């Protein structure tokens, strides 16, 4: 057993310089029975696919579901404990496209490990990842049911907020340096699902660095950030009281565990985003 992790990895910005290898679909894959995951969200996806019995090792910060706290930690995205990996003897390593550096993937393959690269940039990617893990572990039926529930809940939310007044949103990943997300990121999809629009949707990078002036210029009506940023997440924006989000007091913290990891818990994140945007519309209307 190991202590619970104190905080989450900065999952949004780990994508900089990370592995870009896409999964190679297999129509009838080998069934793997001893899996190690090298990112916290991947352990959760293994559980969602019904393959928890095959999971023998995880990366640092893996803490959901609680059962993973009993599993052996083999390192993090950047440094792997090769001795511990040898002891566990996995027949499959699952790594995260966007979080596991390419050189780490190459080293693991060179050491003789079978490596599966999973992408989780979008809401659809999450569903595809669960189905893929289900296929790799002989749990296709469970994986399909899990994905059906995930898609159904998101569809229901989207229908509930269809036709809502558009409201502009700035999502702050970190304040120093200042990072946000573009339109291809799953958080941007959640914002759109709830009837909002990401003011930086047009940028090229998935998690781009920006300057303060660009935020002020685009004048968001809502500011969102993860709750692990702390109560003072938006404190520096007090210097610009004219920003619409400040005038309407539309600054909201989203649940870190749900929004910070691309897993089925994005449904919880979606509910939080939709609730915040609904409150923001009411505050805007009342002036």
Question: Is pLDDT above 50 for 6?
Answer: no
Per CATH, the number for 161-285 is 3.40.50.1980
Mean pLDDT (whole number) for 103-121: 94
Mean pLDDT (whole number) for 150-171: 96
Q: What is the distance between the alpha carbons of residues 6 and 204, in angstroms, rounded to a whole number?
A: 32
Question: Is pLDDT above 60 for 103?
Answer: yes
Residue 5 pLDDT: 37
Residue 229 pLDDT: 86
Residue 10 pLDDT: 43
Q: Are 130 and 28 in contact (CB under 8 A)?
A: no
Residue 22 pLDDT: 44
Q: How confident is the model at residue 27 (pLDDT cuts 50, 70, 90)?
A: low
Provide the residue ranges of all domains of the chain, joining segments of one domain with +: 35-155, 161-285
Structure tokens given for 98: 């966007």
Residue 2 pLDDT: 45
* Alpha-carbon torsion angle 140, 141, 145, 148, nearest 10: 60
The pLDDT tens digits for 113-136 are: 999 999 999 999 999 999 999 999
The pLDDT tens digits for 54-94 are: 999 999 999 999 999 999 999 987 889 999 999 999 999 99
Cα radius of gyration rounded to whole Å, the chain: 20
Question: Is pLDDT above 60 for 240?
Answer: yes
pTM for this predicted structure: 0.88
Strand 196-198 to 178-179 pairing:
unpaired
Q: Check for a shared fold between 35-155 and 161-285.
A: yes
What percent of the chain clears pLDDT 90, i.e. is strictly above it? 83
- For residue 261, count other CB atoms closer than 10 A to its CB: 25
Closest CA to 202 of 188, 190, 223, 217: 188
The pLDDT tens digits for 164-220 are: 999 999 999 998 899 999 999 999 999 999 999 999 999 999 999 999 999 999 999
Residue 286 pLDDT: 92
Per CATH, the number for 35-155 is 3.40.50.1980
Closest CA to 168 of 156, 180, 151, 154: 180
Average pLDDT of the chain to the nearest whole number: 90
Q: What is the distance between the alpha carbons of residues 88 and 174, in angstroms, rounded to a whole number?
A: 36
Question: Is pLDDT above 70 for 145?
Answer: yes
């Amino acid at each position: 057993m190991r202590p619970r992790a104190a905080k989450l990895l900065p999952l949004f910005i780990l994508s900089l310089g990370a592995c870009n290898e896409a999964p190679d679909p297999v129509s009838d894959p080998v069934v793997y029975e001893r899996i190690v995951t090298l990112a916290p969200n991947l352990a959760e996806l293994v559980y969602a696919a019904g393959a928890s019995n095959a999971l023998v090792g995880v990366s640092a910060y893996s803490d959901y579901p609680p059962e993973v706290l009993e599993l052996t930690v083999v390192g993090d995205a950047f440094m792997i404990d090769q001795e511990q990996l040898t002891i566990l003897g996995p027949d499959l390593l699952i790594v995260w496209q966007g979080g596991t550096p390419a050189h780490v993937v190459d080293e693991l393959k060179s050491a003789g490990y079978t490596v599966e690269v999973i992408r989780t940039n979008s809401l659809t990617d999450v569903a595809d990842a669960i189905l893929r893990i289900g296929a790799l572990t002989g749990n296709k039926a469970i994986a399909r049911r899990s994905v059906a529930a995930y898609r159904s809940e998101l569809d229901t939310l989207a229908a509930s907020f269809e036709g809502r007044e558009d409201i502009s949103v700035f999502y702050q990943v970190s304040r120093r340096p200042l990072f946000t997300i573009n339109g291809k990121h799953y958080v941007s999809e959640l914002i759109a699902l709830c009837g909002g629009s990401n003011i930086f949707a047009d940028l090229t990078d998935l998690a781009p660095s920006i300057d303060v002036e660009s935020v002020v210029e685009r004048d968001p009506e809502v500011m969102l950030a993860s709750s692990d940023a702390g109560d003072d997440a938006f404190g520096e924006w007090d210097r610009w009281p004219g920003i619409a989000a400040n005038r309407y007091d539309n600054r909201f913290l989203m649940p870190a565990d749900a929004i910070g990891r691309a897993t089925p818990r994005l449904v919880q994140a979606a509910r939080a985003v939709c609730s915040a945007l609904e409150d923001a519309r009411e505050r805007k209307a009342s002036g």
